Amino acid sequence: MPRIKAFDVIAFSLVTFVGIYTGTQFFEPIIIERLKKDNNLRSDIDVPQYDEEGNPLSPKSMLDLRKELEKVQESQKAEQADSK
């Protein structure tokens, strides 16, 4: 009878967690859109808003943070170029 090794359990747990998380992130906008279309979406629960590509439109979404980071990096590059 083979033993269950700790590494096998950890690897299986990690793969399961990543699979569930990515599946949820992928299907959430699709399910919300369908519930809105069928008028079955509950109004007492805050539902995240998504654009046409499925990206979240939250106050500080990852896309906004990425754009801000790119602006900061560009300004730092410009300052370094000016100082040389």
Does this model's pTM top 0.85? My answer is no
Task: Give Cβ neighbours of residue 58 (< 8 Å, ≥ 6 apart).
Answer: 48, 49
Question: Cα(18)–Cα(22) distance, rounded to whole angstroms?
Answer: 6
8 Å CB contact between 47 and 32: yes
pLDDT tens, 54-64? 777 766 667 77
pLDDT tens, 21-72? 999 888 988 888 899 899 998 888 877 777 777 777 766 667 777 888 899 9
